[in-house]
Structure 1
Amino acid sequence: MATANEIRLAVLDGDGIGPEITAATLSVLNAAAKRTGLTLRSKRALIGWKAYEKDKSTLPEATLKALDAHEGWIVGPTFAGEYPKDDPMRGHPNGFIRRHYKLFANVRPVEAWPQLDPLVPDVNITVLRENTEGLYPDRNMAWGYGEFKPRDDVGLALRVITGEACERFARFAFEFARAAGLDRICVVHKRTALPQTDGIFIGAFERLQNDYRKIAIELVRIDTFSSSFPRNARHYRLVATTNLFGDILSDQASGLAGGVGLAPSLNAGPEHAMAQAVHGTAPDIAGQGKANPSALILSTALLMRWFYQRTGRTACRAAAQLIEDAVRRTIESGATTPDLGGSASTTDFARSVIRSMAAR
């Protein structure tokens, strides 16, 4: 029987540096759990190359059963379309996970770290991206693909926006703001050019605002945001937008903040959430103990915040804060991996984060 503060996690190592950074992340999470009274129950499962070698699928049935049985998942990086052609997942196991489990909200916090030599040093923004619709042809059809060529020199792309998905996402955004103690959401759109679809998206936020009277919404056109954000980054703390715009804006923010090396990410749905770093598999350093696990560690902190937002368990929020503060102090101390100018191994960095927790 589950206890009040029990957290059930499925852990998928992934490819390249995935096993190294996943092990480091689990060690940090276990240390935070002990200090905050959480009980962790985790189950390992395969994804990517090792899964294909064993079961001829990058996302086998055994892994899907593990995902079904656990609310939260920690997933290492996987290759993108580089698997054998007979893979049932068509080389994109993460895309299947997002669609199959309806992970409709992508959470991308972006912060400027001095160690990354940021172009805009005061970037501190979270981009919330609706993750299931929009102008993405792999996820906006009941079957088939949402791009068409009626003839060789003509291409058509279908943008799908539904009221149901927008309201679900808008409520998530308001709840996220409330849990984070923020009083304003910047809703980025292009209603002037897309009056029907972006009108539906904006309307969802406007209808729900009476339920969240302490949280204001600010409507900003995508072009206005893109030009003003680099000049006035402090104004924007929380952005909510559609799929393609969110994909672009989160990368714009990361570029201004110094890159994606430390960028965490969370994909959340009605019943499940997946912590996964933005960066890739880095096969050139895999197995050498040089990988920086910070992004996956911080993604796992986001997962703990999702558990708090979902359940109200304050121990989850405390664990997230403990992890985030310890990572920051460790990086500021200079006990970093080679990508940040240090000499620490992946394991050494995780141990330094754990020691930082214990010092508080």
Structure 2
Amino acid sequence: MSYKIGLLYGDGIGPEITKATEKMMKAAVKKYNISVEFPVYPMGWEGIEKYGAPVPDITKEGLKNCDAWVFAPHDSAAYPEEYRKLTNPSGTMRHYFDLYSNARPAKSYPGVKSRVGEADVVVFRENTEGIMPDRNMYKGWGEFMPDENTVILNGKFTRKATERIAHEAFKMAMTRRKKVAIIHKANVLQWSYGLFKSVCYEVGEKYYPEVEIEDYHIDAMAAHMVKRLGDFDVVLTTNLFGDILSDLAGELTGSLGLGPAINTNETQCMAQAAHGSAPDIAGRNIANPVGLMLSVVMMFEWMADKHQDESLRKAAILMQKAVLSVMKKGILTPDMGGRETTTSFTDAVVREMELLA
């Protein structure tokens, strides 16, 4: 079987870490004789300069024919004003392709100091609605100003969106420690977060009775994560809360630069690291590619399940083992306390793959 995996290099450190990840991927698919085409599509500043849009139509049309793609960070805050008013590239992709599930793991890694000891948690973030105004409307914008001193923000919470993200989280829990924590603010936002909380419980109790379910208010959960992140397994929450808690979990376990993530619908997967474009270090060859590399590992695992292809799973296992082995040896980029460049770290990963295969 042949696959098509798109590459979007993005802004800031995006080209550096995406090309590093591309090198690792190509070594893995070569090792297991997997037929993969890697088309490149413009996104971010490249899209603006060449086509007049951060995510131009040529990119959207091309990705329709891809099984998956690697989505680099973007620096939308620095775009010209007319583009800052638009949905940013991440929101555009999630909305256009209905990538409703955002899975963001955070765990303790070898060679990297964790602030909370041993931990291994996956945050599932509903990706298409909530109170994120750039992606919660079919048409228009969920935030507006009736006058210069007033802002009105609309939120959207639906049974359909809640059910499908709940199924994703509970399915993951069934493969792990069978624990799900639902995070909400139903004590104040009683109808919106109350619906989210109740539907998540309904899905869990009806379809996944083996899974232990608990729930926390968002403010309490932030404190619990700092004190005892290791007690949690799968965290299930809304768009905004998931964005915040996944970043917190990543930093607590060592570095946000390590945070992987995938965004999925029923048929496609987008690998996207949790961190941003870090323009302050762009072009210096010191960016940490681990977050994006491990996002690709997740992407290959998702594709292996989707297509029932064990060669993809073997490639995923090899890439993950190589990255973790290199880190355990103390080969680390500066953000993890090491001295390696992006290039030297990547080369070490590829060499390790040769040794492990």
TM-score, with length taken from structure 1: 0.89
Q: 1:144/1:340 Cα in 2 relative to 1: closer, same or farther (>3 Å)?
A: same
- Separation (CA, whole Å) in 1 of partners of 2:76 and 2:84: 14
Q: CA deviation at 1:109?
A: 1.0
Q: Does 1:204 align with 2:199?
A: yes
State the shift of 1:279 in Å: 2.3
Counterpart position of 2:230 = 234
- Paired with 1:52 and 1:112, the residues of 2 have a C-alpha distance of 38
Match of 2:211 in 1: 215
Q: Residues 176 and 39 of structure 1: is their aligned pair in 2 closer, same or farther, counting only changes over 3 Å?
A: farther
Structure 1 residues 243-282: aligned runs within 5 Å: 243-282=239-278
Report the secondary structure of 1:240's partner residue. Answer: strand
Q: Given the superposition, is the C-alpha separation of residues 306 and 182 from structure 1 closer, same or farther in structure 2, using an over 3 Å criterion?
A: farther
* Structure 1: runs of 5+ lacking an equivalent: none
Secondary structure of the residue aligned to 2:323 is helix
The residue type paired with residue 289 of structure 1 is N
Aligned partner of 2:311: which letter? A
Runs of 5+ consecutive residues of structure 2 not aligned to the other structure: none
After TM superposition, give the deviation of residue 36 of structure 1 in Å.
4.1
Deviation of 1:186 (Å): 1.5
Moved more, 347-356 or 276-285: 276-285
Task: Pick closer, same or farther for the CA change 1:201–1:318 going to 2, 3 Å.
Answer: farther
Q: Deviations over 1:112-138 (max 9, x none)?
A: 346554321223211111011111122
SS at match of 2:304: helix
Rounded Cα–Cα distance in structure 1 between residues aligned with 2:74 and 2:84: 15
Q: Deviations over 1:58-113 (max 9, x none)?
A: 22221111111102110121112322334498372222111111111111111234
SS across alignment from 1:347: helix
Change (3 A) 1:221 1:309: farther
| Contact 1:58/1:89 (8 A) holds in 2 | no
The total of aligned residue pairs comes to: 355
Task: Return the letter of the residue paired with 2:286.
Answer: K
| Alignment match, 1:175 | 171
Which position in structure 2 is the counterpart of 1:110?
Answer: 106
Question: In 2 relative to 1, CA 17–227 (structure 1 residues): closer, same or farther, beyond 3 Å?
Answer: closer
Matched position secondary structure for 1:230: helix
Q: In structure 2, do the counterparts of structure 1 residues 27 and 251 end up closer, same or farther at CA, with 3 Å as the change threshold? A: same
Could you tell me whether the CA contact under 8 Å between 1:125 and 1:239 is conserved in 2?
yes
CA contact (8 A) 2:111 2:329 kept: no
SS at match of 1:77: coil
SS across alignment from 1:310: helix
Amino acid at match of 2:218: I
Label 1:230 to 1:286 Cα distance change in 2 as closer, same or farther (>3 A).
closer
Query: CA separation of 1:220/1:340 partners in 2, compared to 1, >3 Å: closer, same or farther?
Result: closer
Is 1:28 equivalent to 2:24 in the alignment?
A: yes
Q: Does 1:193 align with 2:188?
A: yes
Change (3 A) 1:340 1:230: closer
Contact kept, 8 Å, 2:8 with 2:43, in 1: the verdict is yes
Helix, strand or coil at the partner of 1:320: helix
The corresponding residue for 2:323 is: 327
SS of the equivalent of 1:194 reads coil
Match of 2:78 in 1: 82
C-alpha separation in 1, matches of 2:199 and 2:305: 20
Residue 135 of structure 2, aligned match among 119, 127, 139: 139
1:8-23 correspondence runs (5 A): 8-23=4-19
Distance 1:36 1:217 in 2: 40
Q: Is 2:34 the partner of 1:44? A: no
Query: For residues 349 and 166 of structure 2, what CA distance do their matches in structure 1 show?
Result: 35
Q: 1:81 to 1:333 in 2, by over 3 A?
A: same
TM-score for the superposition, normalised by structure 2: 0.90
Q: 1:30 to 1:92 in 2, by over 3 A?
A: same
Q: Name the aligned partner's letter for residue 176 of structure 1.
A: M
Q: What is the SS of the residue equivalent to 2:7?
A: strand
Q: Percent identity?
A: 35
- Supply the distance in 1 between the matched residues of 2:179 and 2:337 (Cα, whole angstroms): 37
